Amino acid sequence: MDRRVGTGTAIAAAAALACGVLSWSPATAQDRTVRIGAPLALTGALADEGKKQAAAYDLWLERINAAGGIDVGGKKMKVDLVTYDYQTDGKRAQQLAEKLITDDKVDFMTAPFGSGHTKIVAAVAERYGVPIIAVASSEPVHDQGFKNLFGTLAPSVSLVDTMYTQFKNSKPDLKTIAVVGRDDVFPKLMATAMVENAPKYNINVVYSGTYPVGTLDHSSVVSSIKPLKPDWIFVSGYTQDLVLFRKQMADLGVSAPIVTMITGPAYKEFVDNLGPLAENVTSATWWHYSANYQGDDVFGTTKAFYDAVLKKTGEEPDYVHASSAAALIVLQKAIERAGTLDRDKVRAELAKTDIQTFYGPIRFRPDGMNAARNLPLIQVQGGKPVVLFPSEIKQAALHLN
């Protein structure tokens, strides 16, 4: 079901989905608002991530409108967030992006979660010259020459060298790895990068393969890995894939000293669904609430954002919450610096972005990606993800199976 959200809260509006499209009337000249379009996966395979985006957007929206709105050339303008559920369907995401721009007349957009759907929606925004802020870390999304696309996540491939370096330091006799990836933009990119970089660290890839989107049985892949007895099993995919893969590893008696699932342990849903099977699974993430960032934004500090998400959702925030809220902060700051809603001028200010936020530093490269920084490595220990790296926020040492 489609939905539209005005200056009211996005989470409260979710309850209206079962009843139909929310009511909305166009703004008059006197109450002109900043209109931001947001296709969200509120149902389907990426619903967990889509709902986190919605929660983060809602928190930002509440705060910015409570402060009177965005300062546009000395005038405070409230924000309308116009959203639709694209149901984790790429074709529908494309159609709704077009609708947001042509029918709903949004000024700017945010992209859906996930590199594949971001790429689809960003292509629509590019065609209409609409600046769009994404939560996608894959360089194949940002290498399309899009001048309107900007993303708050640092490049995912920087995680590869970090994992190889840190895990090799913790286990000097690490010699073999099995790599499995979902045949989708981000997971496949990560799996490919792991395979290509293994020789640099004198690690032998004993298995490399992909699985189709929608796979409901990984037993043949798991069975192929079992006799190889790798030192490290690396799997990239989305939460539902990884939960199933880990369960089938247990069913077939397959393990390794190091098991990594990108980005399963970053999500509470992964740990909740697996229980003891999540223990010692490692991963990487783009943000962790144990960081102590401060910024000039509606949250101000990492701790304040943590508290806000916990109070609103009852759950600790992860990088999806944080990078999504940061996307709207980036857009807000660019509008304020531009002093106008003119898309070309806002786009120019987005390209110049170099700010510190509760989420950390955001400075866009020429391709629109957030510049690389030390991204956290995590491991589930005692039923909860803890930080292994970087040292300034380290909470524990790596546990081997």
Would you say residue 399 lies in a domain? no
Whether residue 243 is found in the same domain as residue 385: yes
pLDDT for residue 195: 97
Would you say residue 319 lies in a domain? yes
Low-confidence ranges of the chain (pLDDT < 70): 1-31, 372
Whether residue 271 is found in the same domain as residue 293: no
Whether residue 189 is found in the same domain as residue 241: yes
Q: Which residues are 76's β-sheet partners? A: 71
What is the DSSP code string of 360-390? EEEEB-TTSBBPP--PPEEEEETTEEEEEES
pLDDT for residue 12: 40
Would you say residue 237 lies in a domain? yes
Task: List the CATH number of the domain containing 248.
Answer: 3.40.50.2300
Number of domains in the chain: 2
Would you say residue 129 lies in a domain? yes
Would you say residue 398 lies in a domain? no
Whether residue 331 contacts residue 131, with contact meaning beta carbons closer than 8 Å, is answered with yes
Whether residue 142 is found in the same domain as residue 165: no
Q: What is the pTM of this model?
A: 0.81
* H or E, element range at 244: helix 239-251
Whether residue 271 contacts residue 383, with contact meaning beta carbons closer than 8 Å, is answered with yes
Would you say residue 274 lies in a domain? yes
In this structure, what is the dihedral angle of CA atoms 234, 374, 38, 385, given to the nearest 10 degrees?
50
377-381 and 384-389 strand pairing: antiparallel
Whether residue 378 contacts residue 283, with contact meaning beta carbons closer than 8 Å, is answered with yes
Whether residue 85 is found in the same domain as residue 233: no
Name the token pair of 299: 């949250």
Whether residue 388 is found in the same domain as residue 246: yes
pLDDT for residue 372: 67
Domain assignment of residue 389, given as a range: 158-285+375-393
Whether residue 140 is found in the same domain as residue 186: no
Would you say residue 217 lies in a domain? yes
Would you say residue 32 lies in a domain? yes
Q: Which residue in 151, 172, 168 sits closest to 160, CA to CA?
A: 168
pLDDT for residue 132: 98
Whether residue 201 is found in the same domain as residue 237: yes
Whether residue 386 is found in the same domain as residue 299: no
Whether residue 144 is found in the same domain as residue 166: no
Whether residue 62 is found in the same domain as residue 138: yes
pLDDT for residue 365: 93
Whether residue 302 is found in the same domain as residue 266: no
